[in-house]
């Protein structure tokens, strides 16, 4: 029988609800319980795939090709699981389903209402996933903040879950913020009280309250919250702001949340067991050698747009005992000032995924700079495509080489629309999405990194390498070292005359874990750690350094 833990948020958004849910997942998994997790997003978009990164940050792609909320990235990294479409639903999807049923006549002439039709659809989404996956615990995070109008059907649905599956099988956690006033750091509980009152008006009495705070929470503050919000004293859980998100599972477990949930749900679980996680966090804290990496993109002012790339670089850094210090470089700044101005400090350069023509030429300049200077380069999706454009321009002399995404009339379309995309007119959910297998060329850098010749990676693109240019680029030293089975689609390119210049059509960043960096990021960071910048002090290769 699956038990449910519901996580809601109050007071403000961005309070750490997603990280809290992910951390609780890690805690329960470390106690030997099987965990599944879902995010319910109350906005009306069907998925975040068509939303601007400024609205939403990164779009996280699951292995089955769902474009989802970036919190799913936290869930995957913290819990070390691979999620699917059954882990994220939006109001847009729920309403689409309900209205389609109504059009089919499934409701037999009934009046369709938020309660029970919409709330039933939300409950079914949770119950079906639990029935399929049969986890010990299903964690459900409700997006947004209590009081949001569009969140109401979702809160009503999780309220009904207590009756549907039983009091002993449901546990409600409310995450709030304790703001402080003045230099004394005096913490205020009133917003938390109001937010819990709002929740109780809906019929949800939280079992525990996680209080995010920048200052230590004194005992009398905890007493006050327990009294006014009617929770047990030990169920007021402080969550102090930490430097490193991966500390949160440690902080929360320390505060007793694991025991509370396990007792509250009468679960049979192992004792606390975050030793390896703690060791990883300690390694992060003690890593002093800074490795400057430049990430060149169109949303450099919005690092959340590249959240998984940032995390994957950190994971690789910890593995090599390097504190990866990312400079977010706006590609349009490179167009204006030249690459050297923005990249001369970088030991490695990454161009992540992206869409649209803005700033693309700056990314091409970044590739040229990496190639000329021998700086390790990792291109992700669009980052591979600009690497191909730059190679064709510089190495083949095709100065007008481009992607038809940016110049539909280019005489040299080295990147072109995929054939099965030609008739696509709807924008939502129509890209080449999710897992596809890829065959690696034996002896290539990619094959060495992966330690295997068949791999599977997640995709999200419409354009591809144009095979007309494969041979000439190959002769110029840019090899297609990863191909779709059958060999038609180029998935990886490598410049063999460069210490590390790899572009991949997929998104390896989604599969990186703090305790197991992705092999391409791992080897990119290694290359960046040992390759010499002009004028830099020689460093030992990492392996030798480790032996000293």
| Chain residues in the site for ligand GLN (CB under 6 A) | 353-355, 381-382, 385, 405, 460-463
Q: Kindly state the tokens that stand for 468.
A: 């007309």
Cβ 417 to ligand GLN, closest distance in Å? 8
Distance, CA of 517 to CA of 511 (rounded, Å)? 8
Among 35, 30, 22, 64, which residue's Cα sits nearest to residue 47? Answer: 64
Distance, CA of 390 to CA of 505 (rounded, Å)? 15
Q: Which is nearer to ligand GLN, 316 or 382 (CB)?
A: 382
Q: Which is nearer to ligand GLN, 382 or 398 (CB)?
A: 382
> Which listed residue (56, 117, 174, 507) is catalytic?
507
Q: For 285, what's the count of Cα atoms within 13 Å in the CB-facing half-sphere?
A: 12
Q: For 159, what's the count of Cα atoms within 13 Å in the CB-facing half-sphere?
A: 17
Q: Which residues contact 548 (CB under 8 A, 6 or more apart)?
A: 540
Distance, CA of 295 to CA of 365 (rounded, Å)? 13
Distance, CA of 125 to CA of 90 (rounded, Å)? 11
211 labelled catalytic: no
Phi, psi of 123 (to 5 degrees): -60, -40
Q: Which is nearer to ligand GLN, 154 or 406 (CB)?
A: 406
Q: Are 503 and 379 in contact (CB under 8 A)?
A: yes
Cβ 249 to ligand GLN, closest distance in Å? 30
Count CB neighbours of 137 within 10 A.
Answer: 26
Q: Which is nearer to ligand GLN, 137 or 381 (CB)?
A: 381
Q: Which is nearer to ligand GLN, 238 or 354 (CB)?
A: 354
Cβ 37 to ligand GLN, closest distance in Å? 25
Q: Which is nearer to ligand GLN, 42 or 297 (CB)?
A: 297
Q: Which residues contact 303 (CB under 8 A, 6 or more apart)?
A: 310, 326, 328
> Which listed residue (74, 381, 491, 498) is catalytic?
381
Q: Are 40 and 140 in contact (CB under 8 A)?
A: yes
Cβ 45 to ligand GLN, closest distance in Å? 18
Cβ 433 to ligand GLN, closest distance in Å? 10
345 labelled catalytic: no
Q: Are 395 and 478 in contact (CB under 8 A)?
A: yes
Cβ 460 to ligand GLN, closest distance in Å? 5
> Which listed residue (156, 390, 509, 526) is catalytic?
509
150 labelled catalytic: no
Q: Which residues are catalytic?
A: 381, 507, 509
């Amino acid at each position: 029988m699956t038990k449910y833990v519901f996580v809601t948020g109050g007071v403000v958004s961005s309070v750490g609800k997603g990280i809290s849910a992910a951390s609780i997942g890690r805690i329960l998994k470390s106690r030997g319980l099987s965990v599944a997790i879902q995010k319910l997003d109350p906005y009306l978009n069907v998925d975040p795939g068509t939303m601007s990164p400024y609205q939403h940050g990164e779009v996280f792609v699951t292995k089955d090709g769902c474009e989802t909320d970036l919190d799913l990235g936290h869930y995957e990294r913290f819990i070390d699981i691979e999620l699917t479409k059954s882990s994220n639903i939006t109001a847009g999807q729920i309403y689409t389903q309900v209205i389609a049923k109504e059009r089919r006549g499934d409701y037999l002439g009934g009046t369709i209402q938020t309660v029970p039709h919409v709330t039933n659809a939300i409950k079914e989404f949770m119950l079906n996933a639990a029935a399929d996956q049969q986890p010990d615990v299903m964690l459900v995070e409700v997006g947004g903040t209590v009081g949001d109008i569009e969140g109401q059907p979702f809160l009503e649905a999780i309220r009904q879950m207590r009756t549907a599956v039983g009091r002993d099988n449901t546990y409600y956690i409310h995450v709030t913020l304790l703001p402080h006033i003045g230099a004394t750091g005096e913490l205020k509980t009133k917003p938390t009280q109001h937010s819990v009152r709002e929740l109780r008006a809906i019929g949800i009495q939280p079992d525990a309250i996680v209080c995010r705070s920048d200052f230590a929470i004194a005992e009398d503050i905890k007493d006050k919250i327990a009294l006014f919000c009617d929770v047990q004293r030990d169920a007021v859980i402080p969550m102090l702001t930490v430097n490193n998100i991966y500390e949160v599972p440690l902080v929360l477990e320390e505060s007793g949340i694991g025991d509370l949930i396990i007792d509250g749900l009468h679960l049979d679980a192992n004792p606390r067991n975050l030793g390896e996680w703690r060791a990883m966090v300690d390694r992060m804290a003690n890593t002093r050698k800074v490795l400057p990496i430049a990430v060149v993109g169109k949303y450099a002012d919005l690092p959340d747009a590249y959240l998984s790339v940032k995390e994957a670089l950190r994971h690789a850094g910890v593995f090599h005992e390097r504190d990866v210090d990312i400079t977010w470089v706006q590609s349009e700044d490179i167009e204006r000032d030249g690459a050297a101005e923005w990249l001369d400090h970088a030991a490695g350069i990454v161009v992540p995924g992206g869409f649209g023509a803005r700033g693309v030429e700056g990314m091409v300049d970044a590739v040229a700079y990496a190639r000329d200077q021998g700086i390790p380069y990792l291109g992700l999706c669009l980052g591979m495509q600009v690497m191909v454009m730059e190679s064709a321009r510089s190495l083949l002399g095709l100065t007008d080489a481009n992607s038809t995404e940016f110049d539909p009339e280019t005489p040299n379309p080295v990147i072109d629309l995929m054939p099965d995309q030609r008739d696509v007119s709807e924008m939502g959910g129509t890209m080449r999405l999710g897992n596809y297998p890829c065959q690696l060329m034996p002896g290539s850098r990619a094959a060495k990194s992966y330690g295997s010749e068949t791999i599977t990676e997640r995709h999200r693109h419409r354009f591809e390498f144009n095979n007309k240019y494969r041979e000439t680029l190959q002769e110029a030293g840019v090899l297609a070292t990863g191909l779709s089975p059958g060999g038609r689609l180029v998935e990886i390119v490598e410049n063999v005359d460069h210490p590390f210049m790899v572009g991949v059509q997929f998104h390896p960043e989604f599969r990186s874990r703090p305790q197991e960096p992705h092999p391409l990021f791992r080897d990119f960071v290694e290359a960046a750690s040992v390759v010499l910048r002009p004028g830099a002090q020689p460093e030992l290769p990492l392996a030798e350094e480790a032996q000293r």
